Amino acid sequence: MRTLAAMKVVTTTLAVPTRERIEIQDLTDRIAELPGVDEIAHGAVLIHSLHTTTGLVLNEHQDALLHDIATMLQKAVPEDGAYRHNDPAYSDCNRANAWSHLSAIFLGQTLQVPIEQGRLVLGTWQRVLFCELDGPQTRRIYVQVMGV
Amino acid sequence: MRTLAAMKVVTTTLAVPTRERIEIQDLTDRIAELPGVDEIAHGAVLIHSLHTTTGLVLNEHQDALLHDIATMLQKAVPEDGAYRHNDPAYSDCNRANAWSHLSAIFLGQTLQVPIEQGRLVLGTWQRVLFCELDGPQTRRIYVQVMGV
Amino acid sequence: MRTLAAMKVVTTTLAVPTRERIEIQDLTDRIAELPGVDEIAHGAVLIHSLHTTTGLVLNEHQDALLHDIATMLQKAVPEDGAYRHNDPAYSDCNRANAWSHLSAIFLGQTLQVPIEQGRLVLGTWQRVLFCELDGPQTRRIYVQVMGV
């Protein structure tokens, strides 16, 4: 498919309240229904968490697997490591949330999903999963729909 | 360099057959030769795997290193962990492929490579590496070339 | 916000000299001040390291945390693993830098940060952190500012 045209941009900031310290929410439907998506023939949505202790991943929304993601993070990034960010001798942060920062780096904060004919281009099992790693908090996600 | 112009978009879906359970393929040449790339003066290609058990990374294509990537994934995400996704009490998936999902999250599913004057902007050793993590299967990768 | 307009593109290659084997530099101010950023009402900057042994992450710039990132990488990707990339029987690379490649894959090489009204869209604590993993070297980062 080929297109040559002027570009459209529509931006929104989503509020995402979380209830648990570690929690994964499926944002796919909220993003698919955002203003502007249905006007894009070819483009992409940039989904950008504004935080340093959250992650965004594309994977399957299955409760068992969401539980496994949390388990994996706790193995890959040991929570009780001797982190300077948690040590008052080195850090002015009193949240003791080094694990949350490091897990966020592991997962990444930004996703880009293509749009074609007004719909997100996702495989059968792919969903946009927002990962709270230091909740509960109300989180903000900047979403930019861009295309022709 | 500065450009002000109408945007071009060309999209393609690549079929990538794999032969092994874990396998890394270099897709750089297939992407560099896609229709549309040579018409873009300034832009980018969004390379987006449509699967939840594959990864896409930018790194060197050297057989020894590809072997090390698989070794690293098996250490960072232990394959024999007690994953609920593999447990019929929690999961309706009978592929026992929790490791494949979790390794895919580790690697990421989407890459964006800039294009300048019709060529991918890559460093000397950078190659687009597609990682099959639950093969063999025929995989699909959505590729969107966008720019001016 | 909605916009319909012709696209602007401005590209630059940043030189980033590093002094240590492992070193994290905050590039946020250099990127925010690049030519073109202040002319974009809505768009994004694609920040793309041209190397296979460096990473780019979005997180907090706090000395204690930067130290923890290096510690985490050394745990998640053991430096003394039996990597083929370090073994002359398998590899023609004599830098023994398998760890640097594998940590780079862990972190990712490309970031995309939205731009709104001439400013990078970043949360309070978010900074663009460049991670040298096999220094000291002079590194190059391709930066593409695109938008309307």
pLDDT of residue B1: 56
Model's pTM, two decimal places? 0.96
Residues of chain B in contact with residue A44, where contact means CB-CB under 8 angstroms, are 46, 144, 146
Mean pLDDT of chain A: 95
Q: What is the mean pLDDT of residues A1-7?
A: 68
- Ranges of residues in chain C whose predicted pLDDT is under 70: 1-4
Look at residue A80 and tell me whether its pLDDT is greater than 90.
no
Chains adjacent to C (≥3 CB pairs closer than 8 angstroms):
A, B
Selected residue with higher pLDDT from B135 and B2: B135
Q: What is the mean pLDDT of residues A81-97?
A: 93
Q: Is residue B120 within 8 Å of residue B45, measured between CB atoms?
A: yes
Residues of chain C in contact with residue A9, where contact means CB-CB under 8 angstroms, are 1-3, 42-43, 147-148
Q: Is residue C81 within 8 Å of residue B71, measured between CB atoms?
A: yes
pLDDT of residue A3: 65
Rounded CA separation A137/C128 (Å): 23
Q: How far is C67 from chain B (nearest CA, A)?
A: 20
pLDDT of residue A76: 87
Q: Judge residue A111's burial from the number of C-beta atoms within 10 Å of its C-beta, 0-12 exposed, 13-18 middle, 19 or more buried.
A: buried
Asked whether the beta carbons of residue C110 and residue B4 sit closer than 8 angstroms, the reply is no
Residues of chain C in contact with residue A102, where contact means CB-CB under 8 angstroms, are 68-69, 72
Residues of chain C in contact with residue B3, where contact means CB-CB under 8 angstroms, are 7-10
Report which residue type is found at B137: Q
Rounded CA separation B131/B128 (Å): 10
Asked whether the beta carbons of residue B5 and residue C10 sit closer than 8 angstroms, the reply is no
Pair of tokens at residue A33 = 């229904």
pLDDT category, B81, cuts 50, 70, 90? confident
Element (H, E) at C75: helix C63-76
Q: What is the DSSP string of C76-144?
A: HS-TTS--GGG-TTT-S--S--HHHHHHHHHH-SEEEEEEETTEE---TT-EEEEEESS-S-EEEEEEE
pLDDT of residue A4: 63
pLDDT of residue B41: 93
pLDDT of residue A85: 96
Which of B8, B9, B105 is nearest residue A69 as measured by Cβ atoms?
Answer: B105
pLDDT of residue B6: 76
Residues of chain C in contact with residue A106, where contact means CB-CB under 8 angstroms, are 76, 106
pLDDT category, B4, cuts 50, 70, 90? low
**Residues A109, A29, C147, B58, Cα dihedral to 10°:** 40
Look at residue A8 and tell me whether its pLDDT is greater than 60.
yes
Q: How far is C92 from chain A (nearest CA, A)?
A: 30
Look at residue B83 and tell me whether its pLDDT is greater than 70.
yes
Pair of tokens at residue A132 = 């709270």
Residues of chain A in contact with residue C47, where contact means CB-CB under 8 angstroms, are none
Q: How much of chain A, in percent, has pLDDT values that exceed 90?
A: 87
Residue of chain A whose Cα is closest to the Cα of C45? A46
Residue of chain A whose Cα is closest to the Cα of B101? A59
pLDDT of residue A7: 84
Q: Judge residue A148's burial from the number of C-beta atoms within 10 Å of its C-beta, 0-12 exposed, 13-18 middle, 19 or more buried.
A: buried
Q: List the B54-59 sheet strands across, edge first.
A: B23-26, B127-132, B54-59
pLDDT of residue C42: 94
Asked whether the beta carbons of residue C48 and residue B5 sit closer than 8 angstroms, the reply is no
Rounded CA separation B56/C100 (Å): 18
pLDDT of residue C80: 85
pLDDT category, B7, cuts 50, 70, 90? confident
Residue of A80, A102, A137 to mutate for C, most C C-beta atoms under 10 A: A102
Pairing of strands A7-17, C2-5: antiparallel
Rounded CA separation B37/B114 (Å): 10
Looking at residue B24, the DSSP 8-state letter turns out to be: E
Three-state SS for B62? coil
Q: Catalogue the E-assigned strands of chain B.
A: 2-5, 7-17, 23-26, 42-49, 54-59, 110-116, 119-120, 127-132, 138-147
Rg value, chain B, Cα: 17
Residue of chain C whose Cα is closest to the Cα of A40? C4
Look at residue B128 and tell me whether its pLDDT is greater than 80.
yes
pLDDT category, B3, cuts 50, 70, 90? low
Looking at residue B125, the DSSP 8-state letter turns out to be: T
CB hemisphere CA count around C8 (13 angstroms): 18
What does residue A58 show for φ and ψ, rounded to 5 degrees?
-105, 110
Residues of chain B in contact with residue C104, where contact means CB-CB under 8 angstroms, are 59
**pLDDT tens-place string over residues A19-48:** 999 999 999 999 999 999 999 999 999 999
pLDDT of residue C7: 84
Q: Is residue A83 within 8 Å of residue A109, measured between CB atoms?
A: no
Q: How far is A23 from chain C (nearest CA, A)?
A: 20
Asked whether the beta carbons of residue B9 and residue A71 sit closer than 8 angstroms, the reply is no
